[in-house]
Amino acid sequence: MDASRTHVVGLLRSTGAYPPHTEQQIVNDSATYNIPVELLLTTNHPVHPPFVYVRPTAAMVIAPQHRHVDVDGKVYLPYLNEWSHPRSTLTELLRVMASVFGAMTPVLSRPTPAVQPADEPRREVLLRRLAVRTDERLREVAESATAELTRLAAEREQLLALDEEVGVSLERLSLSSGGADATRRRLAALRAEDAELSSWLTTNAELSKEVDVDKLVVAGDVPSAQLLDARAEDLALSDARHLVSEAFHQERISLDVFLRETRKLSRDQYMARALVVKIKNVQRQRAAATAGGGGGGGGGGGGGVTRRVAATRRPTSRTSERGRDGSAGGGG
C-alpha cells in the first residue's frame, strides 16, 4: 500500500507539468480534443499495472479500429504489457499515452444530425415530398398500364387467330353437313332401287339365266355407242362419289382427301354429261335432217339402240335409264 500511495502522490504532484486544457490537449485533423481517461489501480499496485480506459464525453465517440483502444475504451499499450516495478510509474504512463494519442487520437467528435434549414417554409417541403410521391405513383401506374396493354394485345391476337380457325371449321362443317344430307338422300334412293331390282331379279330368275346381260342392248351406230359409254361413265362416277362420301363418313379418309376426290369426280362427271348432251344434239340434228324422207324412216335413219331381247318390263333403274337414254337419243 505504501508503494501504491507513493505512485499516486507522485502522479498528483506531476499534474503541474500536465495542466488541464494545455499539454493534455490532442490536436488531430485540425480538431483539438481533451481526452478524458480513467485509471483503475488494483490492490497489488504498483507491482501490477493499472487498468486504463478512455471515457469519451457525450460529444465524443471512440475512434473505430484504433490500434490501442477497443470499442469499450480499454487502452492497450506496450508500456502496460511491459510494466515492471519500480521502473514503471503512472507519471511515465501518462507521458506515453499523450505521445501515442497525439499521433492517433482515440476519440472523435460525434457527428451532428442534419438540421432542416430554419428559413425553408414547411409548405415548400411538403410540396416537394408530394411531387416526389406523385411522380413515383405515376411511374408505377404507367408501368402497370403498359404491361396490361401488352397483355391485352397478346390476348387480342390469340382471339383473332381462334376466330379465324373457328370460321374455317364452321365452313368445313357446313360443306360436310350439306354433303352428308345429299349422301343420305342418294343412299336412300339407291337402297330403294336395289330393293326394286332384287325383287325383279327374283321374279325373272329363269329369264336372267338365259340372257347375256352384255348383249341386252347393242348400239345401232357410232354416236349411240358413244352415248352409252358416256352415260355409263356418268353413272359410274356417281357411284364413285357415293363411295368417297361413305368412306369420309366412316372416317376412313380425311376432309382434304374427300374434298379433293369429290372435286375431281365432279369435274369428270361434268365432262361425261356434257358429252351426253352433245351426242344427243347431234342425233337430233340427224333425225331432223332425215325427217323429210318420211315419218317411218326418221327413227331408223337417225340410228339408235337395237333391243335384241324382248323381256318382261323391268322396273325403273339405272340399267333401264341407260337403255332409255340411248333409244331416246337415237329417236331424237
pLDDT tens-digit map of 54-90? 999 888 899 888 999 998 999 999 999 999 988 999 9
Task: Quote the CA–CA distance of 156 and 286 in Å, as a whole number.
Answer: 69
pLDDT at 224: 84
pLDDT tens-digit map of 170-191? 877 777 767 778 888 888 999 9
On the CB side of 182, CA atoms within 13 Å amount to 13
- Contact yes or no for 65/86 (Cβ under 8 A): no
pLDDT at 11: 56
| Structural domains of the chain sorted by starting position, each given as residue range(s) with its CATH number in brackets | 2-109 (3.10.110.10), 200-331 (no CATH)
pLDDT at 320: 42
Greater pLDDT, 177 or 280? 280
Give 258's pLDDT tier (boundaries 50, 70, 90): very high
Contacts of 80 (CB under 8 A, 6+ apart): 49, 50, 52, 93
Phi first, then psi: give them for residue 212, nearest 5 degrees.
-85, 110
Give 22's pLDDT tier (boundaries 50, 70, 90): very low
pLDDT at 7: 58
